[in-house]
Every structure is written in structure tokens, then in C-alpha cells.
A and B are shown apart, each in its own frame.
Chain A
Amino acid sequence: MEAAVISDSKQFLVFRLDKEEYGVDIQKVTTIIEKDMAIARVPKTPDFIEGVINLRGEIVPVMNLRKKFNLPAVEDTEDTRIIIIKLEDLAIGLIVDSVAEVIHLSEDSIETISSFSAEVSLDYILGVGKVDGRIVTLLNLEKLIKI
């Protein structure tokens, strides 16, 4: 597994999918919005690409993380959010069940793992963080968003 650079202390945005908690590098998050707009379907795209939305005049593709991680689909709730992340000049939204908080993780509290449950492919995982007795799976955004 490729080792990503984790500097002294990083901040992660924690969100929930199903019963699990996941984290993404806060530096890459530009905004969090409610899922209250129509998502235009785009033909000939993978299943987990829900479509595109109009984000203040910019067209942003949106990925359904449940579908991406092969979790069963559920109805949207009040808490459903779209996390807009920006990698270099590429913007993309991630549909998540809810957004929890922002946590700090120092390098020691992040573990790289060699095996994991079947849901999430190892490729996408930077490591696992432990905070307050909870386990947060840290996602590798570059791998997740690979074109």
C-alpha cells in the first residue's frame, strides 16, 4: 500500500456512511452543502456518479459514496450532505449520510492497516484514526477521485 505523507498533526472532516465513520483531509474540503437541489444525471458514467449539480454557477459532478462503497442505498434525510472537495483544479461532491465534526489527529494516532473489512478497498484508505474510542477510516481522496 502506498504510504501517503501524514505530517505532524492533520485535521480531518468526519462524516458518516451507514454505521461507519470516515475522515477526509480538511484542506481539500471547500464547502459542505445540503442536498436540496436537483442532480442532473449524466449518461455513460459509472453507477456511483450520481450526476452534476449547479454550485453557484459552476457545474460540479457528484459521487454517491454509498454506491461507491457498495453499501445499500437509502432515502435522503435531513442530515444528508454533499461535501465539496477540490483536488488541484478538480472539484467534486461526495454525498454522505451526515457530517459530524472536525478532528485533529497526530501522526501517532493514525495507524496504517494491512487488512480490513471487505467494504472499502484498501486503495482508498490512508489509514485509521482513533479518537475518543471511535475508529475513523481516513480516505485517500486522490485515489478515490481517480479519473
Chain B
Amino acid sequence: MDIKQYLEIFIDEAKEHLQGMNQSLLQLEKNPDDNAMLNEIFRVAHTLKGMAGTMGFNKMARLTHNMENVLHAIRGEEIKVSTSLVDLLFKCLDALENYLGNIIETGNEGSNDYDDIIQALAGITKGKPSGEPNSLKPSTAQDTSAGGSVHQTANFKVDQYEQNVINKAKEANMNVYQITVVLDSGCVLKSARAFIVFQMLERYSEIIKSEPKVEDIEDEKFGFEFTVIVISKYNAEFLSKELYSIAEIQEVLITPLEAKAIDVDEAKKEEAKSSATTGNLAVHQEADEAEGEAAAQKHEATSRRTRTGKTVRVDIDRLDVLLNLVSELIIQKTRLEGLEGIERTQTYNETVEYLERITTSLHDAVMKVRMVPVEAVFNRFPRMVRDISRELGKEIVLTMSGEETELDRTVIDEIGDPLIHLLRNSIDHGIEPIEKRRELKKPEEGHIYLRAYQDGNTVVIEVEDDGEGINLEKVKRKAIEKGMISQDIANSMTKKEIIDLLFRPSFSTADKITDISGRGVGLDVVKTKIEALGGVVEVETEANKGSKFIIRLPLTLAIIQALLVYVGNEKYAIQLNSIKQIINISPSDIKTVQNQEVILLRNTVIPIIRLDEVLDVPKIEKEQKKQLTIVIVKKGDRLLGLLVDGIIGQQEIVQKSLGKFLSGIKIITSATILGDGNVALILDVNALT
């Protein structure tokens, strides 16, 4: 069964349950006699235990199980709610929240066993004086047999036939024992485990009775313990040792039984009693639920109501319609601002300004609705990393941070594959095999860091490993082999240029093509996908230290601030936050260095790009201009000067997709509809070199 698809649901529900329990526990502290609250807490703990068990989170299950025992005892009025008890229960909740936090962050509970808390919990339920076994309260877990701990299944009496058998066995000098076996609370396949126990017992003894019945045990209709009566020629020590050697056995309690005279009436009464006392928590549960149902129902109703009030499932298409309408609104607002011939009275200006504020807020609100925390994508990675690293025989630790960072829904959908590829690369090529790491005196387990954080108007996602880094020489050699570059060019390439080779289609330095990577179609697809989202990919790497892939994505997609410019007679838009400066120069300021036009600005050499050439704009006849306008933009950490034919002005524009047909054009990211209804294309600064 594929658990991980349920992980999100588990996390959501577990969060809610823990939140609920915290509140309930606070209430209980104020009103220790509030039975309804107590039942509520018990029920939630029970649910959590089941959930955790199903997902394989055994530590959580164990802790909740022990909590349950305590709560159970409180319900049975064996122990009173005291401040110290509540403190302990709060500690449990904190521990559970830690587990859940770990699960959210790494996909597993972490290594903390919280033994101290479990001991404390066990200490409360242990050795409770039985006093009188008052009426047949099913919830009473009395301890009438030897031994100081509470074992529900141990509390049964043998009927007269069985006592007869025991008597006969004793006559024959055999040992008769009552053995209570308690399974580890983290045991998932209880019936299988019990079967192993039975198998072992049958090897050395004869089982004459079991509580619960064998069929029930086979059907897993029992809690975590069962009790058997056996006749054996082996002694208690031996049997105990054998039992403890079985895995997932928490406790073994062996009590010798004596021959007893049979009192018929007594036997009947005892039988009636014993059938009422079963070791099955589920039965208790149902009985209690019937009791507390009325009170709990109201509580449940309210909690269910709040649950549905918290989230609403919305069809993505509806959100898109909403966003489209908001975009249209903004376009019309811009049009209104630019209208000629309107008398701009005070009222008019105020109204338009207010309209502007409202549309911006509306846009922000709608964009927020589309924002999803990246953990939606991240949470499947821990398992994936674990599986792949197992497959490759490497020890890898994945550390994730910043999962609460939010991205637009469409970006989230697209970012998964590139990230998976980068992670696989790190695991496959980045992290060295254990022996090699030992040689290099690195820790045997490789580390991969997955980080997400917001940086101004962008969201940054980093995939970092402490592996062997990118072997630049190897890259160069492969490139020369494939005929991508010549030896001469290779010699003069910068580190960055060599790394860029990796992103070219069909490039791969892997000697073998593994299932996971090596086919050389990975990194260029990563780059394309990221750039299609309006983002960039950068790489930092150091030999034997590791590599870091940095992905930068724009925070909000659709509406941007832009500078409108003329190139020839055509209008183009440049994202405002890429622009550093706009300057005017004279034509003579443009120098040529190694076939590249540049200008000198405050001691920095800035390459010049003639946009009319790059964009194939039809030349218009103009007189020689005395002044040239250069828009200086940032590309990563470099500067570029774009030569334009005129500046129109700053404008808030709505990014509109060019559609699938034209989406492959590198220099153009998208288009926008101007106030006059005409289309202007939005330039991708990053595609200009």
C-alpha cells in the first residue's frame, strides 16, 4: 500500500487532532470532572493512535497508546485529574507535535523515543490498588492476579473443566503457567506476531486456554496483549527466555497455577465475570462511547462544523476565471487613467486613485488564494531520497527547510519534476559511494539540503549536496568529445561557461546510464522548465566539497511593473525590477572590445545589446540620433545595456501567455495588452546575452 499519498491527509488531520486535544486538555484542567471532555480526549488519542499505526509511525503510536492507558484509567476513576497529571499529558502532546513536526519536515518521526514520558505514563497506571472490584464496570482494569501491573487479559478465571485439566497436569508433575504476553505497541501485524508466539509455545507446551480466543487473535480482534494457560514440562525461566527472544514482545508475565478444588457455583459466577472482562479495548471503546455519546455528540458536531469552515476546495479553473477577471479590471483601470479629454477634477482623481488601490488589493487577494506552500511538493521527497539512496547503497540524509514558503499554484505543479531531477542528480552523481567518502575523511552519510525562502520579489529554492562537486575537466572533455566545443575554446572557458555546458540538450557526463540519470536529458529540461516559469537556475560547485543548484522564481506571476520602450516603431516591455538604471549617451561612447560593443559606466564595462537587431525590428529611417538611450538591466550578477529607441514610461501590466504555439521563443516571455488595446511583447532579460 502506498502510504505517501495519504501523508498530506495524515498531517492535516493529525494537526487538527493535536490542536483539538490541546484545547480539550486545557478545558479538562479547568474542569477536572468534565467527563465529556475526557471522552473527547480519549477518542482523539485513540484515533491518532490508529492513524499513526497505519502510516507506520510507530513511535507516535506507542506514545498515544500509553496516553490512552492513562486516560482510560482516569475514565475508570482509578486516578484523579491532577495538575501534575495534566502537565504530563501536555508533555505528551508536545512530544506528539514534535513527531508530527518531524514528519512534516522529513517524512519520518525522528529518533526521539520520549522514554521518560512513557515511563512517567506507565508509572501512573501501574500498581493501582484494586480495592473492591465494584460492579461490573467494563472500563475497570483490575489487577487481582499476582504481579503489580495492570493486564486486562490476565484477569480471567478458569472454568471447572479447565481447572480439572490443570489439576491432572499438576498430578503428573507438569508445570502449569498462566502466561500474559504484551506486544510492543508499535507492532503492526499483531496476529502474525501472536501466531509466532503460539507456535513457539506449542513447541514446548500445550496451550489449554487463551484469552482472547484463538479465532479472535487470528482476526486481530485484540489489543496488545493476550493471556494463555499452558502445561509444560519446561520451567517458567526457560519459557520466558524463549518468549522474550521473539521480536516485538514488550513484556512477558508468567504465573504458576496451582491445582484447585473446584467450586461449581464460584466457577459459574467467575465465568460470568470473566466474560464481561475482555482485553479488547475496542469493546470498552464502544461501551464508553454509548455513555458519552450524548455529551460528545454535541462537542463533535461543533468541532466538525469548525473543521468544514476552515478550508474550501476550489476548482483551479474557477480561480483562473477569477484571476482573469481581475486582470481585465486592471487593464480597464489603466485605460481609465490614460484617457484623453476627460476633465480631471478632484473627485475624478480621487475616485481613480481609490479604484487603483482596490484593484491592487483585489489582485493581491486573488493571488494569495493561488499560493500554496512548497511543502506540498517537498513532502514526497524524504521518502524518495530514502528509496533511491537505498537502491544505490548510499547513506543519505535529506534536510529540508522553508517548506512554508509559498508559490503560485501553477508554479508548484511545474516545479516538482525539476526538483526531483536535481535531487536524483545529487544522489546519483553528487554524493560519492561510502568508501570514497571514507577515503576523503567525509562523514559516511551524504547530506542533501533542500531549502526554500523568499528573497524580495522572488522565491529561491536551493538543492545542495556535500558530494564531490562538478568535475569541470570531465565536463570539458565530454563536450569536446561530443563535438560541442573545440579544444581551444575549452581552454579559454570560464568556470561558469563550463557549467553552462551541462544544461545543453543531450549532455551527460555519466559513464553509465542508470535508471535514474545519465541519459543527458535532465538538466536542459530542468533549465527549460524553470525558465518557462520565468525563473533562472544557477550552479555553485566546488571539487570534493559539493554542489548547489539555485533556482529563482518570480513570486507573483501575472501582474508586474514594467517599463515600456520603443524599439523601432514597436512597443516592448521590460520588467521593472530587472532594471538598474536608464542613461543617455552619445553614439561615440560606445566602444568595441573583442567584437562586443560596450560602454564604460563608473569604471564598469557594460556590454551593449542593440535590441532592434536582436528583435529583427524593421529599420526605420531616422536622422542620426545625437543621444542614445540605454536601459541598464541586471542579469544575475552581471549588467547589460539595452539600446532602445525611446522610453514610453512605467506601467503596471498584466502578463498574458503567448499560448502554446509561441511559447518556445527565448527572448519573449509573454505579452501584455496595453491601454489602447494593442499588444506589446515582454522581453526576457535573462535570455539576452
Tell me whether A59 and B679 are in contact in the complex, defined as CB-CB below 8 angstroms, given that A42-B662, A145-B661 are known contacts. Answer: yes
Q: Which residue of B lies closest to A40 (CB)?
A: B679
Judge whether B570 and A40 touch: CB under 8 Å.
Answer: yes
- Interface residue ranges of B661-684 to A (CB < 8 Å): 661-662, 664-668, 670-671, 673, 677-681
> In the assembled complex, which residues on chain B have CB atoms less than 8 Å from the CB atom of A49?
662
A44 to B683, CA, bound (A): 13
- Interface 1/0s, chain A 60-97, versus B by CB < 8 A? 11000000000000000000000000000111100000
Please give, as numbers and ranges, the residues of chain A lying within 8 Å of B639 by CB-CB distance: none
Bound Cα distance from A61 to B659, whole angstroms: 8
Which of A37, A41, A61 has its CB near the most chain B CB atoms (within 10 A)? A41
A59 touches B665 (CB 8 A): no
A43:B667 contact, CB within 8 angstroms: yes
Verify A61–B658 contact, CB threshold 8 A. yes
| B673 and A54 contact, CB distance less than 8 A | yes
- Contact between B673 and A43, CB atoms less than 8 A apart: no
Report the separation of the CA atoms of residues A6 and B660 in the bound assembly, to the nearest whole angstrom.
27
User: For the complex, is A136 an interface residue (Cβ under 8 Å from B)?
Assistant: no
Q: Is the CB of A147 within 8 A of B679?
A: no
Q: A59-B656, A59-B671, A90-B660 are in contact. Are A40 and B678 (CB under 8 A)?
A: yes
The one of A38, A44, A54, A60 in contact with B665, judged by C-beta atoms closer than 8 angstroms, is A44
Taking the complex as formed, is B616 at the interface, i.e. its CB lies under 8 A from any CB of chain A? Answer: yes
Which residues of A are found within 8 Å of B668, using beta-carbon distances?
A: 42-44
Closest to A38 in B: B678
A52→B658 contact, CB < 8 A: yes
Measured between beta carbons, the chain A residues less than 8 angstroms from B667 are 43-44
User: Is B617 an interface residue, CB under 8 A from the partner?
Assistant: yes
Looking at the assembled complex, report how far the CB atom of B399 sits from the nearest CB atom of chain A, in whole angstroms.
39
**Chain A proximity of B337: nearest CB distance (Å):** 18
Residues of B within 8 A of A (CB-CB), count: 29
Q: Is A45 on the interface with B (CB-CB < 8 A)?
A: yes
Measured in the bound complex, the distance between the Cα atoms of B617 and A41 in whole Å is: 9
Distance (Å) between the CB of A34 and the closest chain B CB? 15
Residues of B within 8 A of A147 (CB): 660-661, 664
Cβ of B615 and Cβ of A58 under 8 Å apart? no
Q: A43 and B661: CB pair below 8 A?
A: no
Shortest CB distance A69–B (Å): 18
Q: Does A138 contact B (CB under 8 A)?
A: no
Residue pair B677, A54 in contact (C-beta under 8 Å)? yes
Q: Are B677 and A37 in contact, CB atoms less than 8 angstroms apart? A: yes
A60 in complex: contacting residue of B570, B617, B659, B666, CB < 8 Å: B659
User: In the complex, are the beta carbons of B616 and A44 less than 8 A apart?
Assistant: yes
Q: Chain A residues near B13 (CB, 8 Å)?
A: none
Within 8 A of A (CB), among B610-665: 614-617, 656-662, 664-665
Nearest-CB residue, chain A, relative to B672? A59
How far apart sit A147 and B615, CA to CA, in the bound complex (Å)? Answer: 21
Kindly provide the distance from the CB of A45 to the nearest chain B CB, expressed in whole angstroms.
Answer: 7
| Least CB distance, B329 to chain A, in whole angstroms | 11
User: A41-B570, A42-B665, A44-B666 given as contacts; is B660 within 8 A of A89 (CB)?
Assistant: yes
Q: How far is the CA of A59 from the CA of B657 in the complex (A)?
A: 7
Residue A53 lies at the interface, judged by CB distance under 8 Å to chain B: yes
What's the nearest-Cβ distance from chain B to residue A83, in Å? 15
B331 at the interface (CB under 8 A from A): yes
The answer to whether A57 touches B328, judged by C-beta atoms less than 8 angstroms apart, is: yes
Name the A residues within 8 Å of B681 (CB-CB).
40, 42-43
Given A38, A53, A57, A61, which contacts B661 in the complex, CB threshold below 8 Å? A61
Please report the C-alpha to C-alpha distance between residue A145 and residue B659 in the assembled complex, in whole angstroms: 13
> Which residues between 9 and 52 of chain A lie within 8 Å of chain B, taking CB atoms?
37-38, 40-45, 49, 51-52
Q: Contact check, B661 vs A40: say whether CB atoms are below 8 A apart.
A: no
Min CB gap B173→A, angstroms: 86
Which of A38, A52, A57 touches B662 (beta carbons < 8 Å)?
A52
> CA–CA, A21 to B616, complex, Å?
34
Q: How far is the CB of A144 from chain B (nearest CB, A)?
A: 12
Query: CB within 8 A of A52: which of B331, B617, B671?
Result: B671
Assess whether B328 is in contact with A92, with CB atoms less than 8 Å apart.
Answer: no
Taking CB as reference atom, which chain B residue is nearest A44? B665
* Given A42-B668, A43-B668, A44-B667, also A53-B679 (CB < 8 A): yes
A40 near B680 (CB under 8 angstroms)? yes
Closest to B664 in A: A147
Residues of A within 8 A of B678 (CB): 37-38, 40, 54
Chain B residues whose CB sits within 8 angstroms of the CB of A40 once the complex forms? 570, 671, 678-681
Chain A residue at smallest Cβ distance from B666 = A44
C-alpha gap A3/B680 in the complex (Å): 41
Q: Write out the residue numbers on chain A whose beta carbons fall within 8 Å of the beta carbon of B670.
A: 59
Q: Closest A residue to B570 by CB, please name it.
A: A41
- Specify which chain A residues have a CB less than 8 angstroms from the CB of B615 in the assembled complex: 43
Q: Does B324 belong to the interface (CB within 8 Å)? A: yes
The reply to whether A59 and B616 contact each other, CB–CB distance below 8 Å, is no
Determine the chain A residues whose CB is within 8 A of the CB of B617 once the complex forms: 43
A59 touches B660 (CB 8 A): no
Q: Is the CB of A43 within 8 A of B665?
A: yes
- What separation, in Å, do the CA atoms of A38 and B665 have in the docked complex? 21
| Set of chain B residues within 8 Å of A43, measured between Cβ atoms | 614-617, 665, 667-668, 681
Interface centre among A41, A45, A53, A59 (most CB of B within 10 A): A59
Distance, CA A147 to CA B668, complexed state (A): 17
As a 0/1 sequence over residues 581 to 620 of chain B, the CB contacts with chain A under 8 angstroms (1 = contact) are: 0000000000000000000000000000000001111000
CB-CB nearest in chain A for B328:
A57
Give residues of chain B (437-470) contacting chain A, Cβ–Cβ below 8 Å.
none
Q: State in angstroms the CA–CA spacing of A45 and B670 once bound together.
A: 14
- How far apart are the CA atoms of A38 and B569 in the complex, in Å? 13
The residues of B that contact A45 with a CB separation of less than 8 Å are 662, 665
Contact at B658–A59, with CB atoms within 8 Å? yes
| Chain A, Cβ-Cβ closest to B665 | A44
Contacts A54-B679, A92-B661 given; does A59 touch B673 at CB 8 Å: yes
Cα of A47 to Cα of B381 in the assembled complex, Å: 45
Write the nearest CB–CB distance from A52 to chain B, whole angstroms: 5
Residues of A within 8 A of B671 (CB): 40, 52, 59
Alpha-carbon distance between A134 and B665 when the two chains are bound, in angstroms: 41
* Interface 1/0 per residue, B136-154 and A, CB below 8 Å: 0000000000000000000
| CB-defined contacts of A38 to chain B, threshold 8 Å | 678-679
24 A-B interface contacts by CB (under 8 A): A40-B570, A40-B678, A40-B679, A42-B662, A42-B665, A42-B681, A43-B616, A43-B667, A43-B681, A44-B665, A44-B668, A52-B671, A57-B324, A57-B328, A57-B331, A57-B673, A59-B657, A59-B670, A61-B658, A61-B661, A89-B660, A91-B659, A92-B659, A147-B660
Closest 7 CB pairs of A and B: A40-B679, A43-B615, A59-B656, A59-B671, A43-B616, A54-B673, A90-B660
Q: Which A residues lie at the B interface, using CB under 8 A? A: 37-38, 40-45, 49, 51-54, 57-61, 89-92, 145, 147
Given contacts A53-B679, A57-B324, 5 further A-B contacts (CB under 8 A): A43-B668, A45-B665, A54-B678, A57-B673, A61-B658
Q: Taking beta carbons and an 8 Å cutoff, which residues of B are in contact with A?
A: 324, 327-328, 331, 570, 614-617, 656-662, 664-668, 670-671, 673, 677-681
